[in-house]
Amino acid sequence: MASHAPLGFGIIGLGLIADFHARAIADAAGAKLVAVCGRDPNKARTFAANYGQDVFSTNDLTTFLARPDLDAVCIATPSGAHLEPTLAAARAGKHIVIEKPIEITLARMDQLLDGVAATGVKLMPIFQARFGEGARTVKAAVTAGRLGRLTLASAYVKWQRTPAYYADSWHGTFALDGGGALINQAIHAIDLLQWFAGLPSEVFSWNTRRVHTGIEVEDTAVATLRYPDGALGTIEATTAAYPGWARRIELCGENGSIVLEDDRIIRWDFRTTQAGDEAILTAKADDSMRSGAGSPGAMSHQGHLRQIENLVAAVRNGDSLMVDGPEARKAVALILALYRSAQSGHPVRL
């Protein structure tokens, strides 16, 4: 690939989330959508036509991966079907953008990460919430020690999903979703929480189905967390809270406390103030990083755009990926520990 040419992207899996990838690729500097691959050839042709008459469409993965203009592949298949197309793309020498979660079991996740690492291609897991200015500002404050010793570090995802979201879909199944409100909807908040505060050392969780009783997995979960340094925390997650509130992270410490809602900082309280604190609190809300609290289609593609551009820069210029496979593994491992606790009725150590 000439250094001045756009990076050729393809998408495998053409469900709802694929549209966000396609829009991000279309808007990203240095990227171009060249091919899509889905099980239904008619759907693939329609999807491709929506993003350009020259976009190639197929339902044959081998044909798709053989294209010489394909440099990177977005994996947008159901969560429990990430492993096989990811390994096929990596073995074909294509860089990977993979939707959250990487996979739904530790064994499949580690097989995927090891297989990709063996090929030397780059792997960019989608955790777009990390790319917001608010989230990066919070991370910098924690890293700088402004909060002092953390006392409480918690995440809250009180969202709504309608029955139609689960009907005739892989959502809400163990085989392809891997779980419910925790692994599908709350995973971004859980990733931010562990990015800010680190992984807990011990967790205890309860899961239930309060409203979406026809699905296999939880629509509501509550967990308690104990961190290695003695701090405590909670996680609350549901897809049955009308009308759906913004994702919320709370960090409380001896010298300061922060609340982040979606990517907006709404509390920024410190014992010792610094220049710039007032500007952070009074900054105009950035709606371009909104989450899909009330509907998955309502979220912005801006985070995906920033991740696509990060991958382009990594391939072209050798820039570091802001999220890599081992880092993205942490949130999934934590969620799977929560599921083990809920199933056993006992605390689980990480």
pLDDT of residue 5: 86
Scan for tokens 């990926």, then name that residue: 321
**CATH architecture label of 7-121:** 3-Layer(aba) Sandwich (3.40)
Domain coordinates in residue numbering, the chain: 7-121, 129-296+330-349
E strand segments, 193-285: 202-208, 220-226, 232-238, 248-253, 256-261, 264-270
Please write the tens of the pLDDT for every residue from 98-123: 999 999 999 999 999 999 999 999 99
DSSP string, 150-204: EEEEEEEEE-B--HHHHTTSSTT-TTTT-SSIIIIITHHHHHHHHHHH---SEEE
pLDDT of residue 86: 98
Q: What is the DSSP letter of 284?
A: P
Query: How are beta strands 123-125 and 95-98 bridged, if at all?
Result: parallel
**CATH architecture label of 129-296+330-349:** 2-Layer Sandwich (3.30)
Assigned token pair, 244: 């759906």
Query: For residue 105, which amino acid is it?
Result: T
By the 8 A CB rule, do 196 and 252 touch?
Answer: no
Give the chain's residues under pLDDT 50: 1-2
| 44 membership: H or E segment, kind and range | helix 41-50
pLDDT of residue 177: 97
Q: State the sign of the Cα–Cα–Cα–Cα dihedral 321, 322, 327, 332.
A: negative
Q: What is the DSSP letter of 79?
A: G
- Residue 158: phi, psi to the nearest 5? -115, 85
- The overall longest dimension of the chain from CA atoms, in Å, is 61
- Order of strands, edge to edge, in the sheet holding 256-261? 264-270, 256-261, 248-253, 150-158, 232-238, 220-226, 202-208, 348-349
